[in-house]
Structure 1
Amino acid sequence: MTTRPVPWPGDPLGVTGELPPGDPPLDASADADDDVVRRLDAAVGAVDAPDVVFALSRHGRRTVRCGGSAPPPCVARHELRYEMGSASKTFTGLLLAHLTQTGRLSAAEPAATILDPTRPAGPDPVTLAHLITHTSGLPGLPADFFVRALPTWRTNPYARYPAERVIDAFLRHRRRRKPGTRWHYSNFGVAVLGHALMAATATPWDELLTGQVLRPLRLSGTTLCPGGTDTDAVGHLRDGTTPTPALSVGGFQAAGAVRATPHDLLTFLEAHLDPAGRPLTDALRAVRRPVLRRGLGHRHVHTVAWFQHPTEHGPMYFHGGATLGQQAFLGFRPDTGTALAAMCTRRFRARDAFIPTAYALLAEA
């Protein structure tokens, strides 16, 4: 699959029915738009998972609907933090854009030289830009990942692959193609990017992302570590009943560590809808610009942080994510002033309803 780069700007992934027993509605106001409520209720009802949350913001007016097949948890579903999985990459992309927009580093810097200053860059090095756009030539996961993860495959496969192994696997990797010539989605690549950003700034990942992105955007309900049953949603396997432990990402923090509340996710997305006058304004604008086109006719468009699809009136931006027991979908549409954050506590098979339902809800907004 060939790619065509666009100049760098300074796990993507409808049946309606009665709303399952669950939490009472949480709307921004008592007279929340009836059509929005109806659509969100239908989306919740279409997803067969223990816990389901659909949170929508339109021109800053929020409506959140919750439900699920399980009894409501002790903490209301809309107040829990949910595992973002690969949707965490939107936070990493924004961080990279911020560091480049403020001149802290260049997206053209070779990752290997940052991680090992004694190593010469060599011809056609893998850059930070290659890593975030999935054009580095790296596989989805390191070659030895599956052997190490097998003993905990159904509990916490990433936990057995720490940071030092991610870095070592990258520095030892023998590439098969020139960076920038093919697109291949890679958790490995974005994990390497996180370690390169840590090395370049001499800052641990949690401190770096919190200080540069979470705190400026006032995302106090977002974290990178499990908190406990009173703060975090509990995931479930595909059977919808077997609980899963809280995700431990090992050395893959930049690729999947974020967990957040629905309202924090709407705050994050609203900042992308209207960057003017906000912290990280330049970075928020930068991550909306196309940087890569791929596929037949170069119809698939990517930004630094988002997948971009066309609609009748303008582009929509989205990213999905999944962990062993949870799924998430984040998206926004500047043309309609709409942002959507959807979460559920079940890992689905590829053809189940969650992602198609969330995507359709945003596309039809």
Structure 2
Amino acid sequence: MTSRGDLADLVRRAAEAQANRHEGLVVAALRGERSAVHGTGSTGGTGSTPDGDTLFQIGSVTKVFTTLALAAAVTRREITIDTPVDDLLGMPSPTADPPITLGHLAAHSSGLPRLPPGVLLRGLRQRSDPYRGFGPDDLVTGYSRARSRARPGRRFRYSNFGVALLGEALARHAGTSWDRLVAAEVTGPLGLRDTVPHVRPDQQDRRATGHSARRRPVPDWDLGAVAPAGGLWSSAHDVLLFLGAHLEPGGSEVPDALRLVQQPRFRANRWMRLCLGWMLTPLRRSGRSVLWHNGGTGGFSSFAGFQPETGAGVVVLSNTARSVDRAGMGLLEELVHGAATP
């Protein structure tokens, strides 16, 4: 049986192994009822060491919050996974047969390009904040002009554009904004007080400053209408709570939605399947499958993953634009198969 000290030591070693690569870093893990958090480096603002309450922009880990909002609406039977996105946006799909569905957008099988039309050129002009000024009208207009690169449901094609459209479609269906939708469907029911699209005044002193891969301070990204695909801020404690809800759905206010997002829907390749937002891959040593997602913006990187059968979960957040995937997946494997396995 793993002791609290064993888990804390694994987390500490995982964080310290990455310390030289990141301005600041927080690693957090849970195993059953036990959890541990360790921070290294600097928040970059006050110069203090980041901890479980420090706020980071979590990039594409935001996607699994948006897809959980989808699952919540599906489990209430308001819409289905197979509802065409056209029905919610009120405009024709780039492909008429079959139409692009909400499920296609959530599982990256819509065939839509990675970025909305026009964003790449915009990004070249304003590299420090490539999505700034890109609004909902730009997003929907881009959808009307987009060309599907593959028949929906046939191929995996990772698409920020697709998940941004999903968020906008769900918000329009609910008659609200994506910000309020996520608060009502996800962060509110799960008690995630520090997971927000915009850092509140009362959170400012806990906010990390983003850094480039060379560890130079950089401006925060304002993702505009692409926020459903990457715009949330959160803390290690909040993301750990989020993973814990997935591991024990019955203890939450949205158990059916939490179970639904974990069901495989589409095979991307030999090694990876797509659920609703989550990616499902086997670990090398144990062969057990883990659900995970990573993220990155101009000054931050993130990883969140969990293994349902063993009750293991890992969060890694950094205020540096360097991948933390290896650290996150490595620790998750340790928890599942290594010294921390009962």
Q: TM-score, normalised on structure 2?
A: 0.89
Match of 1:357 in 2: 327
Q: 1:219 and 1:326 mapped to 2: Cα distance? A: 20
Tell me which of 279, 291, 295 is aligned to 2:265.
291
Which residue type is aligned with residue 218 of structure 1?
G
Q: 1:46 and 1:215 mapped to 2: Cα distance? A: 35
Which residue type is aligned with residue 184 of structure 2?
G
Structure 2: state its 5+ residue gaps: 336-342
Match of 2:276 in 1: 304
Identify the range of structure 1 (229-238 vs 180-189) with the bigger mean alpha-carbon deviation: 229-238
**Does residue 1:175 correspond to 2:148, yes or no?**
yes
Give the drift of 1:306.
0.9
Match of 1:231 in 2: 206
The alignment partner of 2:66 has SS state of: helix
Match of 1:41 in 2: 12
Q: 1:252 and 1:58 mapped to 2: Cα distance? A: 33
**Does residue 1:203 correspond to 2:203, yes or no?**
no
Identify the range of structure 1 (31-40 vs 124-133) with the bigger mean alpha-carbon deviation: 31-40
Which residue type is aligned with residue 362 of structure 1?
L
Match of 1:13 in 2: none
Cα separation, partners in 2 of 1:70 and 1:126, compared to 1, 3 Å: closer
Tell me which of 123, 130, 139 is aligned to 2:113.
139
Give the drift of 1:289.
1.1
Identify the range of structure 1 (43-52 vs 189-198) with the bigger mean alpha-carbon deviation: 43-52
Structure 1: state its 5+ residue gaps: 1-30
Aligned length: 327
**Normalized per residue, which structure has more helix?**
2
Task: Say if 2:94 and 2:143, in contact at 8 Å, map to a contact too.
Answer: no
The alignment partner of 1:356 has SS state of: helix
**Does residue 1:116 correspond to 2:90, yes or no?**
yes
Task: Say if 2:220 and 2:298, in contact at 8 Å, map to a contact too.
Answer: no
Match of 1:62 in 2: 35
Which residue type is aligned with residue 296 of structure 2?
A
Q: 1:290 and 1:203 mapped to 2: Cα distance? A: 29
Q: 2:159 and 2:287 mapped to 1: Cα distance? A: 31
Task: Say if 1:226 and 1:246, in contact at 8 Å, map to a contact too.
Answer: no
Task: Say if 1:113 and 1:120, in contact at 8 Å, map to a contact too.
Answer: no
Deviations 1:277-300 (A, max 9, x none): 3211001111111111122xx431
Tell me which of 158, 165, 173 is aligned to 2:131.
158
Cα separation, partners in 2 of 1:50 and 1:118, compared to 1, 3 Å: closer
Match of 2:160 in 1: 187
Give the drift of 1:184.
0.5
Cα separation, partners in 2 of 1:165 and 1:120, compared to 1, 3 Å: closer
Match of 2:74 in 1: 100
Q: Which residues of 2 match residues 212-231 of structure 1 at below 5 A?
A: 212-227=185-200, 229-231=204-206
Task: Say if 1:316 and 1:363, in contact at 8 Å, map to a contact too.
Answer: no
Q: 2:92 and 2:310 mapped to 1: Cα distance? A: 50
Give the drift of 1:107.
1.8
Match of 2:338 in 1: none
Task: Say if 1:75 and 1:230, in contact at 8 Å, map to a contact too.
Answer: no
Cα separation, partners in 2 of 1:70 and 1:215, compared to 1, 3 Å: closer
Match of 1:22 in 2: none
Q: 2:267 and 2:42 mapped to 1: Cα distance? A: 40
Q: 2:43 and 2:164 mapped to 1: Cα distance? A: 34
Task: Say if 2:194 and 2:238, in contact at 8 Å, map to a contact too.
Answer: yes
Q: 1:300 and 1:334 mapped to 2: Cα distance? A: 17
Task: Say if 1:148 and 1:160, in contact at 8 Å, map to a contact too.
Answer: no
Tell me which of 268, 276, 281 is aligned to 2:255.
281
Give the drift of 1:335.
2.1
Which residue type is aligned with residue 92 of structure 1?
T
Task: Say if 2:84 and 2:101, in contact at 8 Å, map to a contact too.
Answer: yes
Q: 2:121 and 2:271 mapped to 1: Cα distance? A: 36
The alignment partner of 1:251 has SS state of: helix
Deviations 1:303-327 (A, max 9, x none): 1121112243732111100010110
Q: TM-score, normalised on structure 1?
A: 0.84
Give the drift of 1:226.
3.0
Q: 2:50 and 2:212 mapped to 1: Cα distance? A: 21
Deviations 1:207-260 (A, max 9, x none): 1110111101011111111346413211101111x2122221111021011111
Task: Say if 1:53 and 1:78, in contact at 8 Å, map to a contact too.
Answer: yes
Q: 1:65 and 1:120 mapped to 2: Cα distance? A: 47
Which residue type is aligned with residue 341 of structure 1?
V
Identity of aligned residues (%): 32
Identify the range of structure 1 (118-127 vs 192-201) with the bigger mean alpha-carbon deviation: 118-127
Which residue type is aligned with residue 258 of structure 1?
L
Q: 1:185 and 1:62 mapped to 2: Cα distance? A: 32
